[in-house]
């Protein structure tokens, strides 16, 4: 392709890209450009300009054209690198400041969700010590036998149904399982909060049922060291998922002076930010569960000690981190 044809074909695109760079620099474009390029198109446009520069060099076009394209590529690269840096700083601010401050702002829903999860667990765990047959209201014989084998004190890796599964495979499984539970608990809030209440209570009953049954048959010494580490992140994340779902449900039940749709949209802006943090906590929980909790090589005393530190760390994070800053 001749240089003249090449320039005519792409000049409008380069001008729009130049205008976008000027806007990103906080400057006004020199001239009004038809069909301005949106910010979302920047990465793809940058790659296209890089391709045009490579073609211009390969075809040995005039130096002024190559210089123009080199300037566009250089400026585009700086903005792309800056955008990544901004994302990193925003992520850090969310983790250190915004997320814990947001949880404190929704403390009432947090404690309500915690009660809906932990109280049924406690009651079921205690009830099983006096009425062991209640476990069959939650689990059938096959499922119960599988759980008993997973927490057998003689296995090399507890918490697994198949000993051939490696740590990385189980890491993926735990991610899928944990995020699935969290999403169900959150999305259930769209049923006027009833779905979130149901999943919190059900998971509490299941958790208490498993803990109570394993304690009764003598497998508690295997079960509790397994859950104490990742439980700090996983259980707190489930409570937060429930709080986010209850936020949606309350907006539908009591929209106030707003329409239900407007109230739901406002609540969703808060709930989605909670869910962002929940996903991060569930990823951490899955990592600990796969690579730490399941190992039998570590003595229970070490697991209990580390677990206690993790629970204290998570509690301190939500109590103190981001103090004095708006969510």
Beta bridge partners of 157: 295
Instruction: Flag whether pLDDT at 163 surpasses 50.
Output: no
- pLDDT band at 155; cut points 50, 70, 90: low
Q: Where are the domains of the chain?
A: 3-91, 106-320
- pLDDT band at 260; cut points 50, 70, 90: very high
272 within 8 A of 285, measured Cβ to Cβ: no
Nearest Cα to Cα of residue 232 among 300, 173, 183, 305? 305
Taking the CA of residue 55 as centre, how many other CA atoms within 13 Å lie in the half-sphere pointing to its CB? 12
283-317 residue pLDDT tens: 999 999 888 887 777 889 999 999 999 999 999 99
1-60 residue pLDDT tens: 888 888 889 888 888 888 888 776 665 443 443 445 555 567 788 888 898 999 988 888
Within 10 angstroms of residue 47's Cβ, the number of other Cβ atoms is: 12
Instruction: Indicate the pTM of the whole model.
Output: 0.72
Within 10 angstroms of residue 318's Cβ, the number of other Cβ atoms is: 19
Beta bridge partners of 295: 157
Nearest Cα to Cα of residue 219 among 308, 177, 227? 227
**Burial class of residue 40 in the structure, from the number of CB atoms within 10 Å of its CB (0-12 exposed, 13-18 middle, 19+ buried):** exposed
pLDDT value at residue 35 = 40
Instruction: Flag whether pLDDT at 181 surpasses 90.
Output: yes
pLDDT value at residue 88 = 66
Nearest Cα to Cα of residue 135 among 234, 54, 205? 205
Q: Tokens 């400026």 correspond to what residue?
A: 75
């Amino acid at each position: 392709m001749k240089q003249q044809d090449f320039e005519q074909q792409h000049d409008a695109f380069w001008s729009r890209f130049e205008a976008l760079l000027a806007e990103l620099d906080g400057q006004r474009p020199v001239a009004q450009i038809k069909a301005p390029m949106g910010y979302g198109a920047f990465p793809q446009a940058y790659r296209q300009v890089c391709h045009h520069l490579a073609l211009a060099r390969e075809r040995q076009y005039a130096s002024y054209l190559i210089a123009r394209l080199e300037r566009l590529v250089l400026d585009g690269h700086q903005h792309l690198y800056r955008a990544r840096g901004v994302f990193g700083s925003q992520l850090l601010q969310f983790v250190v400041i915004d997320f814990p401050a947001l949880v404190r702002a929704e403390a009432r829903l947090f404690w309500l969700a915690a009660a809906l999860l932990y109280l049924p667990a406690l009651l079921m765990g205690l009830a099983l010590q006096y009425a062991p047959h209640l476990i069959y209201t939650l689990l059938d014989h096959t499922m119960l036998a599988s759980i008993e084998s997973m927490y057998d004190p003689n296995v090399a890796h507890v918490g697994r149904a198949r000993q051939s599964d490696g740590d990385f495979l189980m890491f993926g499984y735990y991610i899928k399982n944990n995020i699935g539970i969290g999403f169900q608990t959150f999305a259930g809030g769209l049923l006027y909060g009833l779905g979130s209440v149901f999943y919190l209570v059900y998971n509490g009953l299941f958790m208490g049922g498993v803990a109570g049954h394993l304690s009764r048959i003598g497998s508690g010494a295997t079960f509790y060291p397994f859950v104490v580490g990742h439980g700090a992140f996983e259980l707190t994340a489930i409570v937060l998922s429930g709080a986010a779902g209850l936020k949606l449900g309350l907006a539908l039940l009591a929209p106030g002076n707003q329409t239900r749709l407007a109230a739901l949209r406002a609540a969703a802006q808060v709930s989605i930010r909670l869910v962002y943090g929940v996903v991060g906590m569930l990823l951490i929980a899955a990592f600990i569960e796969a690579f730490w909790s399941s190992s039998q090589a570590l003595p229970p005393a070490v697991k209990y000690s580390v677990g206690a530190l993790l629970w204290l760390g998570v509690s301190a994070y939500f109590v103190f981190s981001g103090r004095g800053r708006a969510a």
